[in-house]
Structure formats: C-alpha cells, structure tokens
Amino acid sequence: MGTARKDDVASTQRHALPIPDNVTTGDLSMEPESGEQYMLRVRMEAISMPSVSVAENRDQMLLMATRSKQIEHHPIILGHNEKSNEERPMAPGSVQPSEDWLTGFPPWFYGQRKRLMLVLEQTKVPDDFDLPVSGQVREWKTFCYETSGHSETNRAILCTLASIDQAMAMRLIKWITSWVAVDKLQRSEGIWLWYLILRIDDLLDHDDTHALRELCRKLKRIRENIGNYSQNPESNLLLLQHRGDEIAAINILIASVTRGYRQRDLD
C-alpha cells in the first residue's frame, strides 16, 4: 500500500499533538514504526470518521430553542421537565454526535487501543526518564499539563504510558477528572484522558468503572453547559464554532466510556 503524508491532513486544523512534517503513515498493512507515525494514523482515521451531525435547519432550531418560553432547561438535556413533566426537546446536533457516529465508534475505539498497546510494547523508555512519585498529586499535575501539546513531548507521553501500570493509570484518570473545570475541558486534559482510557484494561473492577462513570458525568455536564443557548442565536453559533474542537474531544471521551466500556445507560 502507498504511504500518505502529513500534508494530506487539512492544514487549517489545529491539533492537540503536533507531528513532525517528515512523518508519514507508512505501509498501513504493517504496525506503526514510531509513536509519531501511530498518532498520525489515529489522526487521519479520526478525520475519516463520520462527523458530528448538524441539523440542516440549525439556525432555525437555535432560534426556536432560545425564544420559546416553554423551554426552561438546557436544550441538550433529555428527560422530563421538572415543572411540566413533559419531555424536553432534542438539542441541535451541533453538540451531540449522531447515532451513526456512535454506532461506528466501538470498532474504531478498539482498533486504536490495540494499536496503542502494540506501540507501547515497542517503546523503549530511556534510563534517564523520570516520573513523579506515584502519590505526589501536585507534581503529577505539573507534569501532565506540561507534557501536552508540543511535538517534543509526544515521546514523553508514550514513555509515561509504557511505564505506568493499571493502578497508576486509573489514579491519573481520577486526578485529572478532579482537575477538569466545571465548564471547560482543556486540551492537555483531553489528551491525557484519551490515552489513559486507551491504556487501561478492558476488564475493570467496580471502583475503576465508577471512576470512568464519574468522568463521563462530568464531561456530560460540560457539554450541557455548552448547549445552554443564550438569548442571542448569532452569538451561540460563534460560541459553538469557537469550541468545536473541545466539543469533539468531549464527545469522543464520553463515547469511550459509554460505548468503549459499555456504560450505555450514560448515553
């Protein structure tokens, strides 16, 4: 099979983990030769997945949602209205993935996890690579927020994932969940959560499952806040465009828990 270049990815996209310009996908029938090549393949596969669906009459739906006096809750929240006990309307598709996207997510997720595991098996951790002491929360927080978003730190993330065990990976997920703000997911947080979720085992005990569910609930609250449309539909469109990358990351992480780890009741 032919190789694809990084230039094939749209140049206008902003990525959480920059990849050197000389990296190619290589022979797709073979396993990745490096962490950077693995990440490039992940990125290109993600681009090819069905995108978040957007209603054709999006502007009209936003206008109706913000002007209707009967809508007193976040449009994204489904369930029952506390006052009228009526079902809340569906939110515009700009903050929720489509059902087709969710259906196609598990095979893609399992494929990414398998590939990451193979890369980690081949990752050689330098002798001078040091990690914070397992119980030092403050040091780990500094480490995680500093080793994200720069090409020179990609290797550090892979070395970290190759060095920690299941217990430490779950401990980091719990810590990062507590660090995430109530109204925003930072890029560094999304990067670490994604790779840690891929890193952990398929079989989880009760405490580990509870931790993933708490993360999912927190991310859903952030998504609900983003879907809390103001009284100005035009400003809402700008807000959604500005936070599009964040919404995509949130949807991927939520689906990783609900579909990847089969917690479908949190969909």
Does position 259 have pLDDT exceeding 70, yes or no? yes
Per-residue pLDDT tens digits for 37-87: 676 767 666 655 544 444 444 444 433 333 332 223 222 222 223 333 333
Through-space distance between the first and last CA atoms of the chain, rounded to whole angstroms: 38
Helix or strand (DSSP H, E) at 173: helix 166-179
Phi, psi angles (nearest 5°) of residue 80: -125, 140
User: Mean pLDDT of all residues in the chain?
Assistant: 74
- Any idea how long the chain is? 267
Neighbours of 118 (CB within 10 A): 13
pTM more than 0.75:
no
